[in-house]
Amino acid sequence: MLNYNSIAPIYDLLKNCVFGKPIFKIQKAQLSEIQQEDLVLVIGGGTGYLLEHLHANVDYVDSSYRMIRSAQRRDTRSSVTFHCCRLEELKPIVKYDYIISDFFLDLFSDEDLAKVIDLIKSMLRITGRLIVKDFGVPKTCYQSWLSYSMHTFFRLTTQLKRKRFADLESVLLRNGFKLKDQVFVRKGFINSWVFSLR
């Protein structure tokens, strides 16, 4: 089981040092269409940066209690319920208008990723949107080196099992989602995708 508690205090600092402003630009991208009355599930939200850019009814899920504590200190206009648990442990009584995966899907093996996607589909309204913020497949030598360095670091600090980034866009398309929009930086290495079920 992944454990981000050890790096939670320096997580935002690490992101800023490695990626700078572009990764924060991606985190807040494509959120403006979300309305105050919408039901939103945020999974893997970490320290909660995107909460500052949401105004909705939010269920916020992260398995790290230190990440949850950081997120709870964010200034947000949303009504937020925090859940310190794994996604499969969440038992929602509603389906969501939006599910936001915030650098979350890249954590899973191919086998587990398929299960997580099925779970997400079961929680999303048929008219809902899945917003995925994550890394793409490296396209340059530098991106390949950076991907290797990141996976090595997270394997040592969080017990991450993956050794490379999955082609998440292709995986989601194969699993029944339709791509509606995409914003990217660094030649598509850092992305925000919007998917629907129809």
In a domain, 3, yes or no: no
In a domain, 183, yes or no: yes
pLDDT at 32: 93
Cβ-contact 188, 131 below 8 angstroms:
no
Task: In whole angstroms, give the CA distance from residue 61 to residue 50.
Answer: 13
Rounded CA separation 34/92 (Å): 20
Give the Cα separation of 26 and 192 in Å (integer).
Answer: 6
Q: Which of 171, 170, 176, 53 is nearest to 124 (CA)?
A: 176
170: in domain: yes
User: What confidence score (pLDDT) does residue 1 get?
Assistant: 61
Rounded to 5°, the CA angle 163-169-173 comes to: 125
Segments forming the whole domain that contains residue 122 = 8-196
- Residue 102 within any structural domain of the chain: yes
Classify each residue of 49-65 as buried b or exposed e, where b means 16 or more C-beta atoms within 10 Å of its C-beta: bbbebbbbbbbbbbbbe
pLDDT of residue 3: 80
Does residue 39 sit within a domain?
yes
Residues 54 and 56: their CA atoms lie apart, in Å, by 6
Q: What SS3 state is found at 121?
A: helix
Note the pLDDT of residue 47: 94
Task: Return the structure tokens found at 10.
Answer: 């320096």
Task: Output the six-digit token pair for 165.
Answer: 């980034």
**Residue 38, in any domain of the structure:** yes
- Is residue 1 domain-resident? no
pLDDT score at 36: 96
Our count of domains for the chain comes to 1
Return the structure tokens found at 78. 């949303």
CATH number of the domain residue 110 falls in: 3.40.50.150
Answer whether residue 141 is part of any domain: yes
Mean pLDDT by 10 residues, the chain (198 residues): 83 88 93 96 94 96 95 96 95 95 93 95 98 96 94 89 92 97 95 96
pLDDT score recorded for residue 159: 83
User: Tell me, what's the pLDDT at 9?
Assistant: 86
The residues near 141 (Cβ < 8 Å, ≥ 6 apart) are none
